[in-house]
Copies of this chain bind each other. A is one copy, B any other.
Amino acid sequence: MSTVKLMPPFGVDIDLAEGVMADPDRHLVRKASAMLGHYQDADALARLIAAGDPLHYEVFEKNVPEERGQVMFCISKLEPGDVGGECFMTKGHYHTVRETAEVYLCLRGRGFMALKTADGQCLLEPMERNRLVYVPPLWAHRSINTGSEPLISFCAYPGDAGHNYGDIESEGFPKRVFTRNGKIAVV
C-alpha cells in the first residue's frame, strides 16, 4: 500500500527562549535590504539599509522530505523595530499548494499575523506568547512584530506545501501596522 520509504526518527535541539535551532539545514537571514518594496516608506528603508542594514528576521529549518504526509517545521524569529514607523514584518507567502494550512505557535513576543486571500479578504490575528494562530488553506500570511523583543514562533505545515513569495511581492497586504507614540495603528 505504501510507497513511502522508512526513514529514521530524529531529534532537533531548539532554544525556545532565544528562537534558535541548533544545527539547522537551512538558515534564512533577511536583512532590511531584502525587504525592498514591502514597506510603505521606501526612503526610510533606504536610510535603514545605509545605516547598517539590520537584521529583520531569521528562519531555521531542518530537511524533511517535501512530500505529502511529512510535516515541515521551522522556527521564525522576527526582530523588533520599525521602518518609518511601520513595524518590522516578514515578507509573507502563500503556499505553492494553496490548499495547505500552517500552524504558528508563538513562543515569545507580541504582534500580529496578517492574513489575506487572493480575492482581497484581509485580517489580523493577535500573536503573543501562549497563543497559536491557525492559518487555514488558501490564506497568505505574514508576521508583524509590534513589541520590543523578538517575535518567536514555531511553525508546522504539510511537507508538500512549498512557498510562493512572488504573488505577495506583487499583491502586497492591504493592511499595514504602525507604531506611533507607543501606540499601535492599523491602516
Contacts and interface: CB of A to CB of B under 8 A. Distances in A.
Interface of A: 2-4, 6-16, 62, 64, 68-71, 73, 97-103, 105, 107, 113, 115, 117, 123, 125-126, 129-139, 154, 156-159
A130 B100 contact: no
B16 A134 contact: no
Contacts of A4: 99, 137-138
B154 A105 contact: yes
Contacts of A159: 101
A102 B14 contact: no
A134 to B, nearest CB: 5
A147 to B, nearest CB: 16
B13 A130 contact: yes
Nearest to A132: B12
Nearest to A62: B134
A16 B8 CA distance: 28
A144 B13 CA distance: 19
Contacts of A7: 136-137
A138 B13 CA distance: 23
Contact of A137 (B11, B69, B126): B69
Given A12-B134, A136-B7, A157 B71 contact: yes
Contacts of A134: 9-12, 62, 64, 71, 73
